Amino acid sequence: EDNITVRELAEKLNKTPAEIVKKLMELGTMASINQVIDFDTAEIVASLYEVKVQREIPEEEKLLQEIVDDESQLKPRPPVVTVMGHVDHGKTSLLDRIRKSNVALGEAGGITQHIGAYQVNINDSKITFIDTPGHEAFTAMRARGANVTDIVVLVVAADDGVMPQTVEAINHIRAAGVPFIVAVNKIDKPEANPERVMQQLTEYNIVPEEWGGDTIFVPVSAKTGQGIDNLLEMILLVAEMQELKANPDRPAEGVVIESKLDKGRGPVATVLVQKGTLHVGDCLVCGSNMCKVRAMMDDKGRRVEKALPSMPVEVMGWSDVPEAGGKVIACDEKIAKQIVELRLNEKKLEEQKKSSRVSLDEFFKHM
């Protein structure tokens, strides 16, 4: 933490606490000796004595030094595309359709059980897709989806129009600052009205290119397959402009897309690799969980030995189920153990703080 008490600051500056209290008062801050002041205030006080202060580097950062990639190490990587939209507007159907036609195009392996993330091949280019639920309860998942993504496909059903989770998705997209494409779905339905969807979205400053705006709209039907090729083409077009790159030759970094406790396999997490290459045998940390990667499966349930940037893989070997959205970092096993210990301690301290606060409240209640 960046905070320090007046007493600690005085010690560091080799002054009496009373003098520091006085200086703070001159600066317009009333503080007692044991009071905690923030970094910026401490910095100002220190500067009055011509002392430069530095933030303390947390233990964890000392252990896990961030790897800075050199521009020359970066290689092109597939785009990560998240599909968002209101409940039942056809996100999963759209993804199923894309995957199915992809399999029909000669991709090896069959379709397995539902998975929240998968990769497809479109004329020598790969695209990683992430599905998100439209149900109200899953706001956090959509926010997370928007954050791990390069491009969002906003699905709006042509027979239903803009709905609450459509608007919420727009907000997530804007907060994340990612480009998006609107897929107007279910155009096969007799009651479909794509024009109305376009009209409704202008109220959110989303204007189609054909109306002079800068948003790509693609009418599609997950049911008949109409427009799907066009949608994929547009995704690749937007991705190309982004020039997405990552360094594959370094320890992996990624994020947990979904996780569960599997009866037979134990804790399993779908990890999207964002940087580096993830290998079987690697050691990972995620929150206060560790993983010695025992096995990895691709989105078709095939065992793989490694996963490159933008590839989603199911990872087995976790100490416990890691939280969805958690950051995953590959590192030396010894360091991983130390980090997990640090984080577990922190957790314990937090809980103690919470419970002592509660008991104090209880105490005052009974006075």
Annotated binding site for GTP: 85-92, 131-135, 185-188
CA distance 271 to 322: 10
What are the backbone angles phi and psi of residue 321, rounded to the nearest 5°?
Answer: -75, 115
Residue 221 contacts which entry, ligand GTP, Mg ion, none (Cβ below 5-8 A, type-dependent): ligand GTP
Quick check: 229 binds ligand GTP (CB under 6 A)? no
Binding to Mg ion (CB under 5 A) within 66-125 occurs at 91-92
Residue 75 CA to its chain's centroid (Å): 21
Give least dist CB 131 to Mg ion, A: 6
Quick check: 215 binds Mg ion (CB under 5 A)? no
Q: Which two tokens stand for residue 232?
A: 């994929």
Quick check: 82 binds ligand GTP (CB under 6 A)? no
Contact 329, 64 (CB under 8 A): yes
CA distance 145 to 153: 11
What are the backbone angles phi and psi of residue 237, rounded to the nearest 5°?
Answer: -65, -50
Q: Which two tokens stand for residue 233?
A: 């083409």
Binding to Mg ion (CB under 5 A) within 316-345 occurs at none
CA distance 317 to 224: 41
β-strands 80-85, 125-131: how paired? parallel
Q: Classify residue 96 as left (phi > 0), alpha (psi -120 to 50) or beta.
A: alpha
Quick check: 99 binds ligand GTP (CB under 6 A)? no
Give least dist CB 226 to ligand GTP, A: 8
Region binding ligand GTP by CB under 6 A among candidate stretches 183-191, 205-213, 242-250, 313-321? 183-191
Contact 145, 130 (CB under 8 A): yes
The residue number with the shortest CB distance to ligand GTP is: 134
Measure the CA angle with vertex 151, ends 188 and 187; round to 5°: 5
Quick check: 23 binds ligand GTP (CB under 6 A)? no
Options 185, 270, 274, 289; binder of ligand GTP; rule CB under 6 A: 185
DSSP per position, 279-295:
ETT-EEEETTEEEEEEE
Residue 235 contacts which entry, ligand GTP, Mg ion, none (Cβ below 5-8 A, type-dependent): none
CA distance 365 to 351: 21
Give least dist CB 157 to ligand GTP, A: 7
Give least dist CB 83 to ligand GTP, A: 8
Give least dist CB 35 to Mg ion, A: 52
Quick check: 165 binds Mg ion (CB under 5 A)? no
Quick check: 300 binds ligand GTP (CB under 6 A)? no
Give least dist CB 131 to ligand GTP, A: 7
Residues that bind ligand GTP (CB under 6 A): 85, 87-93, 133-135, 185-186, 188-189, 221-223
Residues that bind Mg ion (CB under 5 A): 91-92
